[in-house]
Amino acid sequence: MLFVEPRFFVFFAIVFALYWSLRRNTARKWVLLVSSYIFYGAWDPRFTLLLAFSTLFDFGAGLMMEAARDQRRRKLIIAFSVTVNLALLFTFKYFNFFTDSFVGLLHAAGIAANPVTVRLILPVGISFYTFQSLSYTLDIYRGHLRARRSLLDYATFVGFFPQLVAGPIVRAYDFLPQLDELKRFSTVAVRPALILFFFGYVKKACISDNLAPYVDAVFGHPGDYTGASIVAATVLYAIQIYCDFSGYTDMAIATAKLLGYDLTVNFRHPYFSTSISDFWRRWHISLSSWLRDYLYVPLGGNRGGRLFAYRNLMVTMVLGGLWHGASWNFVIWGTLHGGALILHKEYARHRPAFLGQHAAYQAGAMLLTFWWVCLAWIFFRSANLPVALELARNFITMHGTGAQDIAAWAAPVVLGLALIHALEARRLISGALLTLGRPSFYALAGTASGAVLALTPIAYRPFIYFQF
Amino acid sequence: MMPRGASPTHAISLDGRRHRMTRVRSAALFVGCFLVSTYGIGIVGRLVLPSPDVGELTLKIHAIEQETDPIDTIAVGSSRMLHAFDPARFDRAAAAAGCPVHSYNLGIGGMNLIEMRYVLRTLAAHHAQPITRALFDPPNDIHIQFSNLKSQRVWVTTDPREASLAVADILSHPDPRKYSSLARYLIAFLYHNSALGLASRYLEPAPPTTEATAFPARGYQPLDPEAKPSVERIGLLNDHDRFVRIARNLQNEAAEQAEPAPIDPAQESRRITVVRTMAESIRTLGYAPILLSLPDTYGEAITDARQLAAAFGRPDIAIPAVNFMDKADAGVVYDKGSWYDWAHLNEPVADYLSAAAGRRLCQTYGPAFASAAGK
């Protein structure tokens, strides 16, 4: 079930009406839990078993850890919890990759091996809820959090449908306290939530999904296109993935908000970043902060000198790349970002202080950062490594081997979108909408909602991050 | 300010009611503006924007260009026409009767009345000349499957300019499912004439241009009962005994040895009006319409074809009509071995019908039927 599908609107209308019609918090939580499992089961009912297992396992691990008297026992429990969670993730996410690679290796060594016929379907959102669940047990182990006694609370936290399948990755200490209070509809900021949902819908359905066929065409047959088209398609992909993912997040946050819950901000206009470090403070914030807290810091973080910190940074980024999937393309994507982060940190140490404030410098830094991010996206998007390398070469040299062109129409589209994005970065659009009187707001909202349907594609495309 | 004498509870309840009314008004405003916006954009967009080329319906029109001899007669209809009209046999029989013609089979599986009008309009835009006549079989009723809801063919069917004819067509069929068909059409109409999916049809990358496909046998697709059976044929073979019984009854009805299946006179009148409208629209495009009622396997079809032929023969309509569900053909078309499946005739019967059509049209309408090219 996608947020942009009509059936989601029907589903949410029922959940919303039922949820707010109940007066007791426990009953409301049951509504959230049951609707979350229905939402998740809409992909494949079997996936709910995995979600339930993951929930029960970490709930139990949390209770046992808190009951444990000595540190050694706590350590054993957390090791077991992390191992089981990662084993689940690895089994479903990397099984196909490793079996294929193993068979390929045997073939290369001249040993005949039958291809493995068992294929595992990747349960949607497994990386998100596994990380969310892991952070809960890790926080209990570190003593940052008390284990929840209520399974209903914990299961609602893991399965909360607005953010279940593609984040933002919510921390238990942010979300669980919200379950304790009985929400009042009068305190819900309905208008900002509607505006956010609308923006999310436009980003996903009207921008991302309409750009996708053009991006697919160029990435599918790069040899047919001019150099300018390769550059244009890469920039369009950057827009596509941003609008797809941040559009999903906007709709997730808005949906949660309409139920009285606050989710973490996941994007802060990342393409206006003036460095890669800045980019990672603005892009997929919930993942980058998770990786920082549960990977980079435990690896040693900044402790132990510069070189050691750089090593930790690179390991974190490469593993962050692999989190997206088992492929060399993701490894290269992570390496490009890790490398750029290290380069930037080194550069920042020597850069004269006055430079950073200069407008022209900032504009140049923004363009350079965007260029690098786009280069890395090529590896993220391409079907395989040879295609990625060909596209990256064409992107850098701006030279293509084909005659087909998309750059002529893409340039004004990109500029138009950048302008709208810049206006909204200053909250000029949503701010203006919030100042409208009630009748004007709802009349405009109705008209705009009807109008954006004209730009909604015929077929729904799944959110890109569902596959992760 | 609280009215004098009103209790605080009363004031709160008044306030609550006012608050609820404001919410209801806001929701009504939202929904109203949403509907005006989405249907305003949808309908105006459909009327103003050029209709996209629906390849499934126009492929054969482009294929006509591949023909070396100029086509002067086309046969348009659903799969019944596709599998029952052999242009070569038709031409030979007409020529032997003194009316040389050169025909092409424009039958398309599942085609309905609105799609047929679209095909003919597109044909007229591409081939104004030398096509002079169009043989048409009253097509299938409009019954939209939701699995095809978003298809381009349903987009054609739900053209708002054709809405009144589409509704009239649905209501004119003696089919018990017509109210279900009407509901389905309404849903499809609301979908395709809203803003949803409108502009995106124009935003999608154009499909790569392919060479125009040439259709063998001038568009005709014979059904060979000896070849590997289709799912539909398997259905008939599995239900053979029932089919034999039905075919015998139909044969008696067509041969006027049994009472015809009754059709409500008001409904038949609507039906005649719809088919006549179709014929008139063919004439408006510059083609002479000829009604060719091809056989079907339910009793009402026989009654319907008979009444259509009678109505079209009236001086105020005077449109040539050939009915293959009558006495003369009953023995052949309702023979138990004539049918490939429940809706389509097999190749030998198609040969018979094509030749009979050519011969009868020439004999009945004389030299007027011969093409200008052939004269």
pLDDT 10s digits, B133-150: 999 998 878 999 888 888
Exposed e or buried b per residue across A454-466, where buried means at least 16 C-beta atoms within 10 angstroms of its C-beta:
bbbbbeebebbbb
Chain A hits for B196, CB-CB cut-off 8 Å, are 453-454, 456
CB nearest B200 (choices: A214, A445, A455): A455
Predicted pLDDT of residue B185: 95
CB nearest B34 (choices: A438, A450, A456): A450
Under 8 Å CB-to-CB from B350, ≥6 apart: which residues?
Answer: B83, B84, B85, B86, B89, B220, B222, B223
The C-alpha of A15 sits at a distance from chain B's nearest C-alpha, in angstroms, of: 18
- B225 or B209: which leads in pLDDT: B225
Q: Give the confidence band of B204 by pLDDT, cuts at 50, 70, 90.
A: low
Chain A hits for B38, CB-CB cut-off 8 Å, are 449-451, 453-454
The C-alpha of B164 sits at a distance from chain A's nearest C-alpha, in angstroms, of: 25
Predicted pLDDT of residue B373: 39
Rounded alpha-carbon distances, angstroms, from residue B15 to B10, B18, B26: 9, 5, 16
What are the tens digits of pLDDT across the range B240-275? Answer: 899 899 999 999 999 888 888 888 888 889 989 999
Q: Do A456 and B200 touch (CB under 8 A)?
A: yes
CB nearest A454 (choices: B35, B199, B205): B199
CB nearest B33 (choices: A213, A214, A446): A446
Chain A hits for B203, CB-CB cut-off 8 Å, are 210, 455, 457
Alpha helices in chain B (DSSP H): 8-48, 55-64, 79-82, 87-96, 113-126, 152-157, 163-172, 178-192, 200-203, 231-238, 240-254, 265-284, 299-313, 327-333, 347-365
Q: What is the DSSP letter of A406?
A: -
Chain B hits for A450, CB-CB cut-off 8 Å, are 33-41, 194-195
Rounded alpha-carbon distances, angstroms, from residue B254 to A236, B242, B302, B319: 65, 18, 6, 22
Q: What is the DSSP letter of A271?
A: G
To the nearest whole number, what is the mean pLDDT of chain B?
85
Q: Which amino acid is at B357?
A: A
Q: Do A446 and B204 touch (CB under 8 A)?
A: no
d(CA A339, CA B277): 73
Please say if the pLDDT value at position B100 is more than 80.
Answer: yes
Chain B hits for A210, CB-CB cut-off 8 Å, are 200, 203
Predicted pLDDT of residue A118: 53
Q: Which amino acid is at B136?
A: F
Number of neighbouring beta carbons within 10 Å of residue B257: 10
Predicted pLDDT of residue A298: 87
pLDDT mean over B212-229 = 82
Per-position DSSP letters for B316-338, written without gaps between them: TT---EEESSSHHHHHHHTSTTS
Could you tell me which of A33, A51, A75, A77 has the C-alpha nearest to residue A132?
Answer: A51
CB nearest A456 (choices: B29, B35, B196): B196
Predicted pLDDT of residue B375: 35
Q: Do A447 and B37 touch (CB under 8 A)?
A: yes
Chain A hits for B22, CB-CB cut-off 8 Å, are 438
Inter-helix orientation angle A47-67/A151-159, to 10°: 130
Q: Check CB contact of B203 with chain A, cutoff 8 Å.
A: yes
Q: Check CB contact of B207 with chain A, cutoff 8 Å.
A: no
Chain A hits for B39, CB-CB cut-off 8 Å, are 450
Q: Do B33 and A454 touch (CB under 8 A)?
A: no
Q: Strand pairing partners for B345?
A: B339
pLDDT mean over B98-112 = 91
Q: Do B150 and A458 touch (CB under 8 A)?
A: yes
Cis preceding-peptide flag for A462 (omega within 30 of 0)? no
The C-alpha of A11 sits at a distance from chain B's nearest C-alpha, in angstroms, of: 18
Q: Check CB contact of B41 with chain A, cutoff 8 Å.
A: yes
Q: Give the confidence band of B372 by pLDDT, cuts at 50, 70, 90.
A: very low
CB nearest A453 (choices: B30, B38, B205): B38
Which percentage of chain B shows pLDDT scores above 90?
37
What are the tens digits of pLDDT across the range B285-311? Answer: 989 999 999 998 888 889 989 999 999
Q: Do A214 and B205 touch (CB under 8 A)?
A: yes
For chain A, 468 residues long, give each residue's pLDDT as a single digit of tens: 788 888 899 999 999 999 999 999 999 999 999 999 999 998 888 889 989 999 999 999 999 998 888 888 999 999 999 999 988 888 877 777 777 777 777 777 777 666 555 555 667 788 888 989 999 999 999 888 899 999 999 999 999 999 887 778 899 989 999 999 899 988 899 899 999 999 999 999 889 998 998 999 999 988 889 989 999 999 999 999 999 999 999 999 999 999 999 998 999 999 999 999 999 999 999 989 998 998 888 888 888 888 888 999 999 999 889 888 778 899 999 999 999 999 999 888 887 777 777 888 889 999 999 999 999 999 999 988 889 999 999 999 988 888 888 888 889 999 999 898 888 888 888 888 888 888 899 999 999 999 988 888 877 777 777 666
The C-alpha of B161 sits at a distance from chain A's nearest C-alpha, in angstroms, of: 20
Q: Check CB contact of A188 with chain B, cutoff 8 Å.
A: no
What are the tens digits of pLDDT across the range B323-355? Answer: 999 988 888 999 988 999 988 999 999 999 999
Q: Do A457 and B203 touch (CB under 8 A)?
A: yes
Q: Which amino acid is at A90?
A: F
Q: Do A456 and B26 touch (CB under 8 A)?
A: no
Q: Do A449 and B195 touch (CB under 8 A)?
A: no
Q: Token pair 């000829």 is at which residue? A: B290
Alpha helices in A259-327 (DSSP H): 276-280, 285-291, 297-299, 306-323
Q: Do B38 and A450 touch (CB under 8 A)?
A: yes
Q: Do B35 and A438 touch (CB under 8 A)?
A: no
Q: Check CB contact of A446 with chain B, cutoff 8 Å.
A: yes
User: Which of the residues of A are catalytic?
Assistant: 324
Q: Do B197 and A438 touch (CB under 8 A)?
A: no
Q: Check CB contact of B193 with chain A, cutoff 8 Å.
A: no
Tokens representing A368 are 């350079």
Please say if the pLDDT value at position B215 is more than 90.
Answer: no
Structural contact between residues A172 and A133, judged by C-beta atoms closer than 8 angstroms: no
What are the tens digits of pLDDT across the range B26-63? Answer: 889 999 999 999 999 988 888 888 777 888 888 888 88
Q: Do A454 and B41 touch (CB under 8 A)?
A: yes
Burial degree of B368 (CB within 10 A; 0-12, 13-18, 19+) = exposed
Chain B hits for A438, CB-CB cut-off 8 Å, are 22, 26
Structural contact between residues A187 and A199, judged by C-beta atoms closer than 8 angstroms: no
Chain A hits for B201, CB-CB cut-off 8 Å, are 458
